[in-house]
Amino acid sequence: MTIQTACLSCGTPARSASSTFCGRCGLPFGTEPPSHVELPSCPVCYRSSDDDGRFASQVHAGLRLDLPRHVAEHEQHPVGDDDYLESLREGARIRIGRWMAPFDLVRRYLVTGSLDGGRRRQFEHDLIVTAMTQLARFGPNAVILGDQPEWRAARDAVAELMERFHRPAGTRLFA
């Protein structure tokens, strides 16, 4: 796979090897992003680029990568078991035990450990979101005053999904 140069400001790949300016934002390739723009973020790990518009390489210490090369590195260094997660997907939602939740919200939580989806995002508040909030705040084995059996079961289901998603590839058991 050949990856062309990409804009450091918006992350858009060059249209051809001879392109010198970004077709989306008009900046010359290689120019650091202006300080007033929102930096590109990775659609796989949700990290925003550093101020120079690049990401640190996971493979080569000291190497800085533009967005397309950073995304390509995730092929060798995945953030979790996305194939398993996709097997639980039902359209735009995911089934966790007997509950349903927004797929993108759950994946972001599993990858980042955070319920914050960034600016301009709204979350559907349901039992799974409540379970993820309680896990993030109190941990998996917490005793919560006023706890409901349904909440406990949802926390257990999310904790089991988290453990399965983050299990190293060599130790995964196929269910």
Q: What contacts 128, CB < 8 A, 6 or more positions away?
A: 96, 99, 100, 101, 106, 154, 157, 158
Phi, psi dihedrals of residue 89, rounded to the nearest 5°: -75, 140
pLDDT of residue 149: 86
**Each residue's pLDDT expressed in tens, for the chain with a length of 175 residues:** 445 688 888 888 888 888 888 888 888 988 888 888 888 899 999 999 998 888 999 888 888 998 999 999 998 889 999 999 999 999 999 999 888 888 988 898 888 877 665 444 444 457 888 888 888 888 888 888 888 888 889 899 999 998 899 887 666 554 4
Three-state DSSP class for residue 41: strand
Report in angstroms the alpha-carbon separations of 96 from 16, 50, 155.
43, 34, 10
Entry pTM: 0.68
Report domain extents, the chain. 1-77, 82-171
Per the CB < 8 A criterion, the answer to whether 131 and 149 are in contact is no
Per the CB < 8 A criterion, the answer to whether 68 and 4 are in contact is yes
pLDDT of residue 73: 92
Q: CA 52, 58, 63 angle in degrees (round to 5)?
A: 45
pLDDT of residue 121: 46
